[in-house]
Amino acid sequence: MKRLYIKIRDYIQHDIPYGINNLIKWFPVIWKNRDWDHYFIYVILRHKLHLTEEHIRVCNNHTTAQQTAKKIKICVNLLDRLISDEYHEMVFKKHDEKWGEPEFNFKDYNENSL
């Protein structure tokens, strides 16, 4: 009976407050989540890694904690680059310098013109 009491007490003292704190931390991210694009996976993964990096850096609970936190921070920075989705600018930079920015001309589709 005493073990059950200890488990219930620990659950109330630790798990419930931690769970409520997680709900508060994750609510904005999950609220904005959509199922149609890889962008939202990146945002969720970035948020998780950011929280993990902060936890490891603050708790410092293993000998290489600061190195691990630094590696996770690099992953967060790389995810920021993927989320911003600006890689096409780097690809076309030399092209634009040499030839200028491309122009796109669109014509309206008309069934009679076929």
Q: Residue 2 has what pLDDT? A: 77
Higher pLDDT residue, 110 or 51? 51
Position 25 in a domain: yes
Let me know if residue 23 belongs to a domain: yes
Domain that holds residue 17: 1-32
Query: For the whole model, what pTM was predicted?
Result: 0.69
pLDDT confidence tier of residue 42, bands split at 50, 70 and 90 = very high
How many residues are present in the chain? 114
The answer to whether residues 50 and 63 touch, using CB atoms and an 8 Å cutoff, is no
How many CB atoms lie under 10 A from the CB of residue 79? 19
Measured in degrees and rounded to the nearest 5, phi and psi for residue 108 equal -70, 140
Q: How many CB atoms lie within 10 A of CB 61?
A: 8
The answer to whether residue 110 is domain-embedded is: no
What DSSP assignment string belongs to the chain?
-HHHHHHHHHIIIIIHHHHHHHHHHHHHHHHH--SS-HHHHHHHHHHHHHHHHHHHHHH--STTHHHHHHHHHHHHHHHHHHHHT-HHHHHTHHHHHHH-----------GGG-
Give me 94's structure tokens: 């030399």
Same domain, 64 and 42: yes
Query: What percent of the chain shows pLDDT beyond 90?
Result: 47
Whether residue 111 is contained in a domain is answered as no
Pair (38, 81) in one structural domain: yes
Q: 26 and 58: one domain?
A: no
